[in-house]
Amino acid sequence: MSNKIFKTAFFGTPDFSVPALEMLANHPNINLRYVVCSPDRPAGRGLEIKPQPIAQYAIDNKIPFFQTANVNKEDDFLQKLDSETLDLIIVIAFSQFLGSRILALPHVGAFNVHTSILPKYRGASPIQHALLHGDSSTGVTVQKMVKKMDAGDIFYQSTLPISPEETFPELYTRLKFASALAIHDFVQIIAEQGLPNPTIQDEAKVSFAPIIDKALGHLNFLTSTTKGILNKIRALNPWPSTFCFINGQRVKILKASLPPYGCVAPGKIDSAKHELLIGCADGTLKIERVCPEGKKEMSAEQFLVGLRAQNNLTLG
């Protein structure tokens, strides 16, 4: 194993970043000089101010950290970073763009961990978009940062399969740890061999994963395929959630499946057998778990019991 030590600053904020930070904090080739994250925010029902997950890890492990809403404007702190003569900046799930001044600080480079196989799904929501499109695989990319979003040269990639029924929370968790492992492998490579020859992204193959709009969660059973609806449910729960309106009531649709029976017209509901079947453009879905507005999550059967006095259930 190489005895080369990289003086490193880590930029990240949410819980997704914590495994990567923990790995770097304990890596024999890393001298972690600073952690940078966004300011603390109110959380929970009481809106109590709590440290961001990355800040809490830094506090617990006595790592110097700095919090800011715009690190590019923090002249005093950037002078301090400059004086550290950094080798690496590692960025994962950090919601601020880094300007040219910061990108030029480390001698080896500033590298971002992105949760897709670039150039596919540049942008803020690659995990959700992989599920929305029904992809059978995704992965992690370590790219050298440039001012253009997610357009840097690729220095490391690893792939992960996506199971047909995998949901966003499940894939998010797997990619959280896969990202930490990717950074570990990348550091090992550059410690032992130096920077490998990069792969330049093919602009002809670029696709984007923009921020998820809440309105995307509205399910249109009349025009959508069964696969399209199932993929939305997998991708958009728990946030922003997928929903429809049944007899005028907003209902979150949390889980559905393809039943081996039933032939319901598109946009129509069949609850005759105490099951909630809804017709799509190309078939029928059985709704299994729901959350009516203002109520707790329940089975579709429990939901139907609450509607027993209402006949002719309708969407919209």
Which CATH number characterizes residue 231's domain? 3.10.25.10
Residue 174 C-beta-side C-alpha neighbours within 13 Å: 17
Say what the pLDDT of residue 292 is.
Answer: 96
Average confidence score pLDDT of the chain? 95
pLDDT band (50, 70, 90) for residue 306: confident
Q: 225 and 151: one domain?
A: no
Q: For 107-131, what is each residue's pLDDT tens digit?
A: 999 999 999 999 999 999 999 999 9
Does 303 score more than 80 pLDDT? Answer: yes
Q: What's the mean pLDDT in 186-200? A: 97
Distance CA 17, CA 265 (A): 45
Say what the pLDDT of residue 1 is.
Answer: 66
Task: Work out how many domains the chain is built from and give that number.
Answer: 2
Beta bridge partners of 156: 142
Tell me, what CATH number does 99's domain have?
Answer: 3.40.50.170
Q: Which residue has the higher pLDDT, 46 or 309?
A: 46
Distance CA 234, CA 165 (A): 7
Q: What's the mean pLDDT in 147-153? A: 96
Q: For 19-49, what is each residue's pLDDT tens digit?
A: 999 999 999 999 999 999 999 987 767 778 8
Q: Which has the closest alpha carbon to 131: 234, 252, 237?
A: 234
Asked if residue 38 lies in contact with residue 12, where contact means CB atoms within 8 angstroms, the answer is no
Last residue of a domain, one of 160, 187, 205: 205
Is 314 a member of any domain?
no
Say what the pLDDT of residue 310 is.
Answer: 67
* CB neighbourhood size of 128 (10 A): 24
Q: 161 and 282: one domain?
A: no
pTM value is 0.94
Distance CA 274, CA 291 (A): 17
Say what the pLDDT of residue 20 is.
Answer: 98
Q: Which residue has the higher pLDDT, 288 or 262?
A: 288
Q: 234 and 152: one domain?
A: no
Side-by-side strand order, sheet with 88-91? 65-67, 30-37, 6-11, 88-91, 109-114, 137-144, 154-161
Of the chain, the percentage scoring pLDDT greater than 70 comes to: 98
pLDDT band (50, 70, 90) for residue 261: confident
Say what the pLDDT of residue 203 is.
Answer: 97
Say what the pLDDT of residue 13 is.
Answer: 94
Say what the pLDDT of residue 309 is.
Answer: 58
Asked if residue 241 lies in contact with residue 217, where contact means CB atoms within 8 angstroms, the answer is yes
Q: 152 and 232: one domain?
A: no
Does 69 score more than 90 pLDDT? Answer: yes
Q: For 127-149, what is each residue's pLDDT tens digit?
A: 999 999 999 999 999 999 999 99
Beta bridge partners of 291: 252
Is 33 a member of any domain?
yes
Phi, psi (rounded to 5 degrees) for 31: -110, 100
Q: 40 and 84: one domain?
A: yes
Give the Å distances, CA to CA, from 23 to 46, 99, 137, 223. 33, 26, 25, 46
Give the domain extent around 187: 6-205
Does 187 score more than 70 pLDDT? Answer: yes
Asked if residue 168 lies in contact with residue 127, where contact means CB atoms within 8 angstroms, the answer is yes
Give the Å distances, CA to CA, from 108 to 182, 194, 292. 17, 9, 53
Last residue of a domain, one of 155, 178, 205: 205
Q: 171 and 223: one domain?
A: no
Residue 273 identity (one-letter amino acid): K
